Amino acid sequence: MSLVVVGSVAYDGVETPHGRVDRMLGGASTYISLAASYFTKVNLVGIVGEDFAQEDWDLLAGRGIDLTGLDRAAGKTFYWAGVYSEDMNDRTTLRTDLNVFADFDPELPAAYRSKPYLLLGNIQPALQRRVRRQMDGTRVVAGDTMNLWINETREELLETIRDWHVLLINDSEARLLTGERNLRRAARAIYEMGPQTVIIKRGEYGAALFRGEEVFLAPAYPLEQVSDPTGAGDSFAGGFMGYLAERGIDLESGRADMPELARAVVYGSVMGSFCCEDFGVNRFRTLSRAEIDSRFQEFRGLTAF
Ligand code: AMP
């Protein structure tokens, strides 16, 4: 089973109460791909500049990620910088330099077009749609979005998510998108927009999955120290979708069962928690599948009574 991932590959500058790094590998699709690579074959679609370091390329390739779809263009790699509040629940963006990302016009390698799983990372809805249109016979299409697109390109976004199976979204953005304060009502409003499976991410409070009348709640893993939450939502998405691909789940046929989707949410939470343990993507340099499965088992104990 094979997953296509599209989104930003970036250099990030991040400051949290636990430290500061001016420049390190980041980007939504970097986190998604690294997290998903523990479960399935990943095919990355994105763009980097001439400054993209060989060691960063090697880190992705070393996890078995197919980089045929990662273009290297003249110019600089997308750069993003942010600073977290003392409790790390708020983040202020200090800089967004689109650089080569400004002219990104994703053209999928022929071999990617028939892959069964597609995860559209948080980029302009028009680009997400362009990628979606190039794919055929997809079993699960999932995607992420953010307040910027909800506010600035709402119609475009609604057009884009109409044929997605899964929407992954933050709680505040779910409210912004639907106008509903109550998350259950917000999920129902999102069903009307297209996606029949809705995952609402609630940061340190965990994640909620809504499908029809069913709801599944996963807590966030209680880490002793969150070093850097950047990429946690993307790592969640990578773990969630990676597990669906590993298990061959088919949402196009509508046959998926809730227990499998619930396990995917827990794997997402597991990957989000590992991501937070260290700065940037560092935790993925040493993380093993055995550690992932062990934390997955720990989740059972967190909520069983
Ligand atoms: P998250 O913490 O899950 O929201 O993801 C953070 C990642 O998103 C960082 O690594 C950034 O490089 C990337 N990012 C931030 N802003 C944007 C944007 N406007 N478009 C694409 N990627 C972005």
| Domains of the chain, first to last | 2-303 (3.40.1190.20)
Q: Helix/strand/coil (H, E, C) string of 202-234? A: CHHHCEEEEECCEEEEECCCCCCCCCCCCCHHH
Q: Is the CB of 234 under 6 A from ligand 1?
A: yes
**Mean pLDDT (whole number) for 217-230:** 95
pLDDT at 89 over 90: no
The dihedrals phi and psi of 157, each to the nearest 5 degrees, come to -65, -45
Strand ranges, E, within 30-180: 41-48, 66-72, 78-84, 91-97, 117-120, 140-144, 166-170
Which of 145, 157, 204, 230 most suits a substitution to test ligand 1, by most atoms within 8 Å of the C-beta?
A: 230
What's the gap in Å between 257 CA and the centre of ligand 1? Answer: 31
Two tokens, residue 247: 């298990």
Two tokens, residue 129: 């749609």
Two tokens, residue 286: 């040493």
CB 83 within 8 A of CB 229: no
Which of 9, 23, 234, 284 most suits a substitution to test ligand 1, by most atoms within 8 Å of the C-beta?
A: 234
The atom number, within ligand 1, closest to the CA of 234 reads 3
d(CA 222, CA 250): 32
pLDDT digits (tens, 9 = 90+) for 235-263: 999 999 999 999 999 999 877 789 999 99
d(CA 42, CA 34): 9
DSSP reduced 3-state for 123:
coil
pLDDT digits (tens, 9 = 90+) for 126-136: 999 999 999 99
d(CA 245, CA 205): 26
- Could you tell me what percent of the chain has a pLDDT over 90? 94
Task: Name which residue sits closest to atom 5 of ligand 1, judged by CA.
Answer: 231
What's the gap in Å between 301 CA and the centre of ligand 1? Answer: 32
CB 134 within 8 A of CB 113: yes
d(CA 264, CA 247): 10
pLDDT digits (tens, 9 = 90+) for 105-162: 999 999 999 999 999 999 999 999 999 999 999 999 999 999 999 999 999 999 999 9
pLDDT at 163 over 80: yes
The dihedrals phi and psi of 172, each to the nearest 5 degrees, come to -65, -35
d(CA 237, CA 36): 8
d(CA 157, CA 134): 18
**Mean pLDDT (whole number) for 48-64:** 98
pLDDT at 1 over 90: no
Number of neighbouring beta carbons within 10 Å of residue 300: 9
Query: Which contiguous run of DSSP H or E holds residue 152?
Result: helix 147-152
Which of 5, 6, 8 most suits a substitution to test ligand 1, by most atoms within 8 Å of the C-beta?
A: 8
Answering whether pTM is above 0.75, one says: yes
Strand ranges, E, within the chain: 2-6, 10-16, 19-26, 41-48, 66-72, 78-84, 91-97, 117-120, 140-144, 166-170, 197-201, 207-211, 214-218
Distances in Å between the alpha carbon of 259 and those of 178, 186, 255? Answer: 27, 22, 12
